[in-house]
Structure 1
Amino acid sequence: MADDRDHVKFVPGVLDRSSRFYVAGHRGLVGSAIWRRLESEGFTDLIGRTSAELDLKDRDAVFAFFEEAKPRYVVLAAAKVGGILANSTFPVDFLSDNLRIQVNVLDAALKCGVERLLFLGSSCIYPRLAPQPIREDTLLTGHLEPTNDAYAIAKIAGILQIQAVRRQYGLSWISAMPTNLYGPGDNFSPKGSHVLPALIRRYDEAAQSGAATVTNWGTGTPRREFLHVDDMAAACLHLMEHYDGPEQVNVGTGSDVTIREIAETIARVVGFTGETLWDSEKPDGTPQKLLDVSKLADAGWTAQIGLEEGLVSTVQWYRDHVSSIRQ
């Protein structure tokens, strides 16, 4: 959904490593990976605030923070996120919390004159039955997936706000829409996690306990694309330095697997040798969600971390942190 009213005059280039860079959500899955990437790339003035230190839903507090910190660059990676169960059970929370977080941060960044900002959304913004692979211009061309429509609407509003800022104020802000992410720092909570970390926890616990079976939701037939969060972080910095435009950019690998295939791979990685059962009375969600990553490739970036390689390191991280991760 490009906007021909966009008149931003900006030539992307290398970001100043000494300038102040605020990562909103720097303790989350994506934000922590972006923080690690920026550190490794030599950024020396990174700032972040935990939710206890700064509630992004508190407008006055957010404006006060920006007035004091005055960041030059911002990545908005803070959001309330969850899987099918959480989204279906708490749609008001996912809509209200994310709208407030986005509006507060983007409005405060605008007032502060942030030069370069990257807003992160989700591939769930696209129509449930969008042609595969999903192109950026299919946004708002069909009905959303009902199990996460409230979250999707919030993220769509964020994209529109980025485009509006570009049109009205001429700031070179951009949006990126990642596919399903996984990796160190993920949410492995049984009630709040996405499909891949939920499967890792389920199969690892079964392997450790010697369980004979594992039962998963749905039929196992939906196809999903998975991107390691360290690849996502690399893509974010690359886009901030090499892309400018009003249309959101898909970030993914360009290939997908069935949920059944990912379950089999995880079972193998964790050492589970029992039987996998499927509860077909539970919802599958979107039948397929594969992103067209042509725009990202045109900007000069492709994913580097293979799925099994990424799963091995993620399982190891989970095992190393199982006593302290969110329950």
Structure 2
Amino acid sequence: MQLDAKIYIAGHRGMVGSAILRNLEAKGYSNILTRTSQELDLLDQNLVFSFLQEEQPDYIFLAAAKVGGIYANNTYRADFIYQNLAIESNLIHGAHLAGVKRLCFLGSSCIYPRDCPQPIKEEYLLTGPLEQTNEPYAIAKIAGIKLCESYNQQYGHQFVAVMPTNLYGPNDNYDLANSHVLPALLRKAHEAKERGDADLVIWGTGTPKREFLYVDDMAAACVFLMENDINEGLFNVGTGTDVTIRELAETVMEVVGFKGGVVFDATKPDGTPRKLLDVSRLKDIGWQSKVSLKEGIALTYTEAPFRNQGV
């Protein structure tokens, strides 16, 4: 990518999109296009097509999506499949019509079958049933992967798809009703410390294992693929290592400074025992994560909004 290349980031205010924006600006890219949802409704096909035809970006990072936790995914199933299908089809087909050759589509590791061999390789896609609670979202993201693949094959475009593991970092969601495990633990540990609680209570047994990637590492991987002219393909993005929920909780407590104990409520569900991505495909072409889990949690906690806004 040339420093003067015109780059459009769809979803620049979200956790991943804002990290991509930070990465590009830090590297000296200055011709960056952004639009809020009020300025450009990505569900409106005509508006999206007109915007891309007028602006003619050289590169697109497709980080816009309707996202949420298990409850939201399972409750608003129609919204999740329709809105994500509409966003990605409008932008990918619009990119084709506007002559955009390079695009990076961001998906989610939930695209893989629920009961996958570990670690999960890219070729396991479509080899088994999906997790039912987020199946509509996963199907929409699988469709985005296949859109990129199909436009590459038919039209010779260079659209790549990246599938991140569990992400965390600046601009994460800390709403305890629908946030993911790491931001929820951060907030709960902080509040427990502020109240002077004796223990931190956590759902489940603490034995499931999860992989976590700092969002700025995710952004670096996306930019790496564009800068190195990777023409096509599906790439898992993660650290290649995982930790138990107990180990995660202990690291969070250390970073936050909570000195109490930890109690696991085994009456609550554990979820999938393990979900680890095989990241060798991306590593083989020269990229791997840099931010350790403890370092990333500390960076995230420093900027967490609940520290200054109360609870």
Partner of 1:16: 2
After the TM superposition, which residues 163-202 of structure 1 pair with which residues of structure 2 at under 5 Å, given as runs? 163-202=149-188
When structure 1 is superposed on structure 2, of 290-299 and 60-69 the one drifting more is 60-69
> C-alpha separation between the residues in 2 aligned to 1:21 and 1:95?
27
Partner of 1:60: 46
> C-alpha separation between the residues in 1 aligned to 2:95 and 2:208?
39
Q: Does 1:292 align with 2:278?
A: yes
Partner of 1:145: 131
Partner of 1:47: 33
How far has the Cα of 1:88 moved from its partner?
Answer: 2.5
When structure 1 is superposed on structure 2, of 269-278 and 101-110 the one drifting more is 269-278
Q: Does 1:262 align with 2:233?
A: no
After the TM superposition, which residues 1-327 of structure 1 pair with which residues of structure 2 at under 5 Å, given as runs? 15-242=1-228, 244-319=230-305, 322-323=308-309
Aligned length: 311
> C-alpha separation between the residues in 2 aligned to 1:94 and 1:231?
26
**Uncovered stretches (5+) of structure 1, i.e. residues with no partner:** 1-14
- Tell me if the contact between 2:187 and 2:306 (Cα under 8 Å) persists in the aligned partners: no
> C-alpha separation between the residues in 1 aligned to 2:61 and 2:39?
18
Q: Which runs of 4+ in 1 moved over 6 A?
A: none
| SS of match in other structure, 2:41 | coil
> C-alpha separation between the residues in 2 aligned to 1:251 and 1:311?
18
- Tell me if the contact between 1:178 and 1:250 (Cα under 8 Å) persists in the aligned partners: yes
How far has the Cα of 1:322 moved from its partner?
Answer: 4.5
TM-score computed with the length of structure 2 as normaliser: 0.95
| SS of match in other structure, 1:153 | helix
How far has the Cα of 1:243 moved from its partner?
Answer: 5.4
When structure 1 is superposed on structure 2, of 192-201 and 250-259 the one drifting more is 192-201
How far has the Cα of 1:82 moved from its partner?
Answer: 1.8
Cα deviation digits, residues 139-174 of structure 1 (max 9, x gap) = 011111222222111110100000010111110111
Q: Which amino acid aligns with 1:103?
A: S
| SS of match in other structure, 2:89 | helix
How far has the Cα of 1:217 moved from its partner?
Answer: 2.6
- Tell me if the contact between 1:183 and 1:311 (Cα under 8 Å) persists in the aligned partners: yes
- Tell me if the contact between 1:57 and 1:97 (Cα under 8 Å) persists in the aligned partners: yes
Distance of aligned partners of 1:44 and 1:158 in 2 relative to their CA distance in 1, 3 Å threshold: same
Distance of aligned partners of 1:131 and 1:208 in 2 relative to their CA distance in 1, 3 Å threshold: same
> C-alpha separation between the residues in 1 aligned to 2:4 and 2:239?
31
Percentage of matched positions with identical amino acids: 55
| SS of match in other structure, 1:119 | strand
TM-score computed with the length of structure 1 as normaliser: 0.90
> C-alpha separation between the residues in 2 aligned to 1:28 and 1:198?
18
**Uncovered stretches (5+) of structure 2, i.e. residues with no partner:** none
Distance of aligned partners of 1:197 and 1:252 in 2 relative to their CA distance in 1, 3 Å threshold: same
Cα deviation digits, residues 162-208 of structure 1 (max 9, x gap) = 00101111101111111111111111122232211111111111111
Partner of 1:10: none
Q: Which amino acid aligns with 1:45?
A: N
- Tell me if the contact between 1:30 and 1:232 (Cα under 8 Å) persists in the aligned partners: yes
| SS of match in other structure, 2:233 | coil
How far has the Cα of 1:70 moved from its partner?
Answer: 1.4
Partner of 1:12: none
| CA root-mean-square deviation | 1.8
> C-alpha separation between the residues in 2 aligned to 1:91 and 1:101?
16
